[in-house]
Structure 1
C-alpha cells in the first residue's frame, strides 16, 4: 500500500512572518481607534465646559444626561445588531468594574472641570495612560517596554508645556480640584484594565451599554440624594438639548472606540494614544477661542505628536 501523504493529514500553519504581520495590523488598527476616541473625548469635553458655563450644570447632572443618551444609543444598537447583553459569570466582575470605575473616573473629571481650566484638568486626568500601562503590566502581565515608558514621560512633559506656566501655580492653589482629576485618572485606569481583563468575549458595545445604564442610574440617584437643584429648561431649549445630545453622542463614540481598541492590543500603547487629546484641545483653543499660541505650547504639542508617531512606528 502506498504511504498516505503527510500533507493531507497535517493542516498548513501560518508562518511566523504572517502571524507577526497580522498582529501588527491589529495593533495599528487599535491605535487608530484610540486616536479617534481621543478626538471624540476632546469634543465631549468642549461641550461639557460649555454646559457648565452657560447652563450651570453640575458634574452629576452632566454625567446623568450623558449616560442616558449613551445607554439609549448602545441599547438600540445592541437590539438592531442582535448583540446579547448577557454576561458570562466569570466576566461580570470585569464588566461591572469597567462601568463602576469608568463612572467614578469621569465624574471626578467633570468635577475637576468645574474648578480648573480644561487644559489643567487634562494634564492631570491624562496621567491615566501611564497608570493603565503599569496596572496592566502588574496584574495582567502585559508587556511594558522602555519605549512605552519613555513615550509616557515625553507625552506628560509635552502636556505640561502646553499649559505652562500656570500649571504648577494652579495645581498648588486648587489642590482639591487637582486631586479630583488625579483620582479620576486612577479610576479611569482601572476601568481600561477591566476591558482587557474581559477580553474579546464581551462585545465592546456591551461595555458601553452597561456603563451608560450604571452612569445614568447612579448619576440621577446621587443628584437626588445631594438635593441638587436642576435648572429650568432655558428659553434657548434647542441649544440646551443639542449640548446634552452632543455630550452623550461624543461620549458614546469615545467609549466604543476605546473599548474596541483595548480588545485588539495591549492597554499601555492603546491608552497612550489618548494623549493626542491634549494636542486637539490646544488646536481648539487657537481656532475656536482665539487664544494666542505660546512657544512652549507649540513645543509641547510637537513633543506629544512626535512621541506618539514613534510609538506607532514598528
Structure 2
C-alpha cells in the first residue's frame, strides 16, 4: 500500500497516476475536488497516522515546512503510524535544514526518508512529466524510483537528505528571477509602444530564448494568470532561499529583490495568480499613465 497525503492542485494528479498504475493508495483529507480519486480506487482514511499504519511508503505533497512538520509529528500524525522499514517520501518544497531534522527524527524509528521536490507545475503533474530532485540514501532512492517514474519524467538523485530541497530552491531562484526579467522586458516593450507579441517572437529566435519566455511570456501577453503556480507559493520558496542565505552568510541580492516584488504582488491581491502575473505587479508599481 502507498500512502498519499496532500491532495491539492499538484497532489491530485500525482496520486491519480499511482492509482491508474495499479497501486493501492491510501488517502487523507479527501475533499470534493479529490473525491474522484476514491471513485478510481483510492482508499480514504481518517487521519495521517492511519495512512502510515496501512502503508509501506508514505508520500507527502504539502504547501510549506510547518505543514509537513504537523502532518509528520502532530497528533495522529504519520510518525505515530510508522514502524521500522517503512519509507517517507516528501515531495513538498520546504526548508533543507528542517528536512534534515525530520529525517533524523524518523531515522531513530528505523524509517527511511527521501526529500523529492518537483518542478513542472500543474501541467507537469497532470502529464506525469515532473522533474524530481531527490535527496537521501541510495537504497531508499532505488526503492522509491519505480513510484517516482510513474509521476515524473526527469528524476535525479542529487545526494544526501536535504540535497533535493537545495536543488529545488536553486531551481526556484532561477525560475523566479527569469520570470521577473521577462516581465521587465515585455513591460518595457509595451510601454515603449512596440508590438509585444512581435518582440517576444524576435527574442525567441535569439540568445534570450527560454522556456519561460516561451510559456510565461505568452501568458503575460494574453494576461492569462490562472495558476499554474501561485505567486504566494513561489514567494515561500524564495523565502526559503533567503533563510538559507542568511544561515550561509551568502549574498543573493536579486533573489531578495524578486522576493520583495512578490511581496508587492500579494499586497495588491495577486497572491493566488500564476507567477507570470509579476508583470502586473511591475505595471502597478510603474504608475500607469503617469
Q: TM (normalized to structure 1)?
A: 0.24
Bigger-Rg structure (1/2): 1
- Answer 1 or 2: which has greater helix percent: 1
The structure in which a higher percent of residues are strand is 2
The two structures have a TM-score, normalised by structure 2, of 0.26
